[in-house]
Amino acid sequence: MKITVVGSLNMDLVSHVHHLPKAGETISSHDFRLIPGGKGANQAVAAARLGAHVSMIGMVGEDEYGSKLLNSLTEAHVHVEGIKRSGTTGMAFINVSDDGENNIVLVPGANAQMSVEHIEENLSILEKSDVVLLQLEIPLPVVEYVVKKASGLGKLVILNPAPAQALSPELLQHVHTLTPNETELASLSGMPTATLSEAETAAKKLLANGPKRVIVTLGEKGALLVTAEGATHVPACRVEPVDTTAAGDSFTAAFAVGIAKGMAEAEAAAFASKVAAIVVTRRGAQPSLPTLAEVEAHTF
């Protein structure tokens, strides 16, 4: 069960606030922390803690933040031979409110320097993988190249389309599983997604472009697994959220692990929902990600 994550690594600068600031509003933070993050790195750490053999291809800066991010990955037993150092490390400025909601401003840094050449240098990592997992915090031409290359190698390709941007049918036809949230689904489909019925219709529109399945994460409403055969609603585990950072990342990673282990897709989605529920009860991105033992021991 080998998973390769191709994606972003960021240092998260996290401010905890009573409420998210409105336009033009200045507020005070009651807690500030530096936490390893980035959607790619979060998914790599999540999958590794759940027992998968994980390698990552990405870029960090030649600075202290880059060293901290590499240390966080190696401590989680993620293989980092595919990570190159250049320039400055990507950063994410994150505000987290007392009710667990967040907003995020990304500074791409080294992530923006990811290139097709860097992928070519690490093709052996892709070739040894069973599952290839991507997001959209690195240049889209690189994502497109990896998706096509991995699909051509017969790998299961999972794309978490976040942050949302336009994706061509040519790219989507090489994706096996797409994991948008409601907002991303609305952006990709151009359709409303406020209800389960609307989300199902929008997901079916994306299926027409090639993916075998679309799994829509719906926060407290759970998740919706949509395939050509129909839709299955996976209820959320009931918890009191503290911080929703990395909830989507953990869901996607856990689903990848479940599928790689041979779980049926509905079982893998339920497993992913449980992992994400644990994550939102903890603060921070990578510090919130549970081990497989913690997931198996947790009751809701």
Which amino acids are annotated catalytic?
Answer: 249
Q: Are 109 and 90 in contact (CB under 8 A)?
A: yes
Q: 181 a known binding residue?
A: yes
Greatest alpha-carbon pair distance for the chain in Å reads 51
User: Rounded to whole angstroms, how far apart are CA atoms 27 and 256?
Assistant: 39
Q: 95 a known binding residue?
A: no
Q: 217 a known binding residue?
A: yes
Q: Are 178 and 159 in contact (CB under 8 A)?
A: yes
Helix (H, G, I), strand (E, B) or coil at 188: helix
Q: What angle do CA 214, 217, 222 make, to 5 degrees?
A: 120
Q: 284 a known binding residue?
A: yes
Amino acid at 279: V
Q: 258 a known binding residue?
A: no
Q: 82 a known binding residue?
A: no
Q: 40 a known binding residue?
A: yes
Token pair for 87: 């320039």
Q: 291 a known binding residue?
A: no
DSSP per-residue letters across 74-114: HHTT-EEEEEEE-S--EEEEEEEETTS-EEEEEE-GGGGG-
Residues 6+ apart with CB under 8 A from 128: 2, 4, 55
Q: 99 a known binding residue?
A: no
Q: 12 a known binding residue?
A: yes
Q: 90 a known binding residue?
A: no
Could you list the residues known to form a binding site for K(+), using ranges: 243, 245, 279, 282, 284, 288
Could you list the residues known to form a binding site, using ranges: 10-12, 38-42, 137, 181, 217-222, 243, 245, 248-249, 279, 282, 284, 288
Could you list the residues known to form a binding site for substrate, using ranges: 10-12, 38-42, 137, 249
Could you list the residues known to form a binding site for ATP, using ranges: 181, 217-222, 248-249
